[in-house]
Structure 1
Amino acid sequence: MGTMTTLPTRHTWTVDDLDTMPDDGNRYELLDGLLVVTPAPSRRHQRISMRLGSALHALCPAGLEVLAAPFDVRLAPDTSLQPDVLVASMDELTERGLPTAPLLAVEILSPSTRLYDLNLKKARYEEAGCASYWVVDPGTDATPPSITAWDLQDGLFVEVGAAEGEQTLSVSRPFPITLSPAGLVGDQARRG
């Protein structure tokens, strides 16, 4: 997988600039005016995204919608993020994006985005009032996969649960769901 790139600039990028970006398979995001370009995700990343999106969709109550990247979350004129998976109120969604913080933003870590997802993006979602933020770590041959969940409490993200490998994570926001990191990452598709 390629590396994350930030493009140097003499000016602050805006969401209007995103409309001029090429349709080249890369993900283009803005964080406080900084353009961040990441390569297309790996197969493992996509597997996790699909399985997580399916699990959330199966339990999603009326009035909410589960979407996967690329889908713009425009938090400010100079900030447009694309969480790997999100849950938002259908009333707040437009055809082109979400003009406010989602109820849930999920990022799936990769070597090129790990620090960005765990620090800058997490802080920006917290500042914007995102109710819940989850990070899925696919793991490696030496480490098990994991998932960590934070909920916004008094304006700050507080860890509300974590699981690794075959353990399960149960959360109540944005709606009750129980997940196993191993179930999201496993190489074998579920059948039956």
Structure 2
Amino acid sequence: MAVAAHRSATYADLMAVPEHLVAEIIDGTLETHPRPRPQHALAVSDLSTVLGPPFRQGRGGPGGWLFMVEPELHLGTHVVVPDLAGWRRPRMPSMPEDAFLETAPDWVCEILSPSTARLDRGPKRRIYAEAGIGHLWLLDPGEGFLEGFALADGRWVVLATVQRGETVALAPFDAVPFPLDDLFPFADPAAPALPET
């Protein structure tokens, strides 16, 4: 019995995916998953808010970074969409005109969820290493932890795992530590209660 040859997904296949789905091409396969749930989206927003002032604008920190939420990255034959990515400013001297980027970021963060954890921990982590991305963070808002990795000789080295109640001081953003709990506002027992109506 003959086995059908695998046809690699094309960018046209990706563009045909409905807008309510995130689409990526990983190892020649079109991967789709739903848009992030509120917990996931809030974690991305909060992390961007925490990192922006000190690391992009230089307010209370070194500055010199650019951040993008869900950029479409073309890394070789792969098309990936990390939840948050950062570039050191000298590596992106001008605003890209295309809807996608071919310059690999210096740092990526993936927010783990049941629909994406397999890809984030598996092939996407490998693709980021192959592209020479220096740092990777994996944030799990459901379990309340953040894993930081640095690329060394083409392999990921674990820097630390930060749990709820602890302070994040992970490269490349260790110059301005912040409480991990800042990324989990609905898990905060000290959050103000709404007034009764």
Give the TM-score taking structure 1 as reference length. 0.81
Q: Which moved more, 1:170-179 or 1:47-56?
A: 170-179
Q: Per-residue displacement from partner, 1:39-72 (whole Å, max 9, x unpaired)?
A: 0111111110000011121122455311101x20
CA contact (8 A) 1:104 1:174 kept: no
Write out aligned runs for 1:131-150 (5 A): 131-139=134-142, 144-150=143-149
Provide the residue aligned with 1:57 in structure 2.
Answer: 52
- Partners in 1 of 2:173 and 2:72 — Cα distance? 19
Q: Per-residue displacement from partner, 1:113-145 (whole Å, max 9, x unpaired)?
A: 112111111111011111100000112xxxx40
Among 14, 30, 35, the alignment partner of 2:30 is: 35
Q: Per-residue displacement from partner, 1:9-55 (whole Å, max 9, x unpaired)?
A: 941013354333332x1100111211110101111111100000111
The gaps in structure 2 that reach 5 residues or longer are 57-62, 193-197
Provide the residue aligned with 1:3 in structure 2.
Answer: none
RMSD, matched Cα: 2.4
The gaps in structure 1 that reach 5 residues or longer are 1-8
CA contact (8 A) 2:135 2:149 kept: yes
Residues 1:118 and 1:37: Cα distance change in structure 2 (over 3 Å) = same
Give the TM-score taking structure 2 as reference length. 0.80
3-state DSSP class of the match of 1:124? helix
- Taking every aligned residue pair, what percent have the same amino acid on both sides? 26
Residues 1:93 and 1:31: Cα distance change in structure 2 (over 3 Å) = farther
Write out aligned runs for 1:33-112 (5 A): 33-61=28-56, 63-69=64-70, 71-76=71-76, 78-88=77-87, 89-91=91-93, 94-95=96-97, 96-112=99-115
CA contact (8 A) 2:66 2:86 kept: yes
CA contact (8 A) 2:135 2:171 kept: no
**Code of the aligned partner of 1:33:** G
Aligned length: 176
CA contact (8 A) 1:137 1:145 kept: yes
3-state DSSP class of the match of 1:162? strand
CA contact (8 A) 1:146 1:162 kept: yes
Structure index of larger Rg: 2
CA contact (8 A) 1:161 1:170 kept: no
